[in-house]
Amino acid sequence: MPVYELANQYGWVVLFHTGIVLRAKFDEAEDVASYRMRAFHLEEIARRFPKITALGAHCGNPEYEWAAEVTRWNPNVFFDLSGTTLTKMRDRLGDFKKIFWWSGEEWDSKSPENNPSAFVKLVFGSDTPVNGIEGVLRQYRTLFEACSVPESAQNLILGGTLANLLNLLE
């Protein structure tokens, strides 16, 4: 908690791993567990420390619905879809319309630029090497098409939101 208090004091952007955790050493003990990475843990941090911006990697893979609901009610929480999500969901990307269901609804929470698309709670992220970024960008664009994500929301996802959060715009 002292780290979060400091982050709150300075209004930091804090990155979190959410979702399943790779196991690289099958024959060695590890003090690692995926349950510690569940997206709903970000809700307490977001509520207790409202000046922190929490960015969760992987949108809680495989618990996307929890991640979406946490980001829905917490204006200081965002998720990316880095990792295997867009690959494993490629045949059912339209399901994300059900997960980010509140587009166009009155939901009484702040969104970037007051954009009505629920998808603006996503930011572009990738955990691939630089030479793989173009492929990840294609996956995001395929998601946008499958879910009819408006261009204004796409622009926020693909950099606008992070540019604002990191004060990169004048």
Q: Do 13 and 77 contact (CB within 8 A), yes or no?
A: no
Counted domains in the chain: 1
Angstrom distances, CA of residue 4 to CA of 19, 60, 121, 164: 20, 20, 21, 21
DSSP designation for 7 = H
pLDDT of residue 110: 80
Task: State the pTM of this model.
Answer: 0.93
Bridge partners, residue 57, by sequence: 17
Q: What is the pLDDT along the chain (170 residues), one digit of tens a residue?
A: 999 999 999 999 999 999 999 888 899 999 988 888 999 999 999 999 999 999 999 999 999 999 999 999 999 999 999 999 999 999 999 999 999 999 888 767 788 888 899 999 999 999 999 999 999 999 999 999 999 999 999 999 999 999 999 999 76
Using alpha carbons, select from 168, 84, 91, 155 the residue that is nearest to residue 123. Answer: 155
CATH at 46: 3.20.20.140
pLDDT of residue 170: 67
Residue range(s) defining the domain that contains residue 27: 2-165
Q: Tell me if 154 is assigned to some domain.
A: yes
Which pLDDT tens digit goes with each residue over 17-61?
Answer: 999 998 888 999 999 888 889 999 999 999 999 999 999 999 999
DSSP designation for 123 = -
Cα distance between residue 60 and residue 68, in whole Å: 9
Q: Tell me if 68 is assigned to some domain.
A: yes
Cα distance between residue 114 and residue 135, in whole Å: 30
Q: Tell me if 117 is assigned to some domain.
A: yes
Q: Do 143 and 81 contact (CB within 8 A), yes or no?
A: yes
Q: Tell me if 72 is assigned to some domain.
A: yes
Cα distance between residue 11 and residue 153, in whole Å: 24
Q: Tell me if 97 is assigned to some domain.
A: yes
Q: Tell me if 132 is assigned to some domain.
A: yes
Q: Tell me if 170 is assigned to some domain.
A: no
Phi/psi for 77 (5° steps) reads: -125, 135
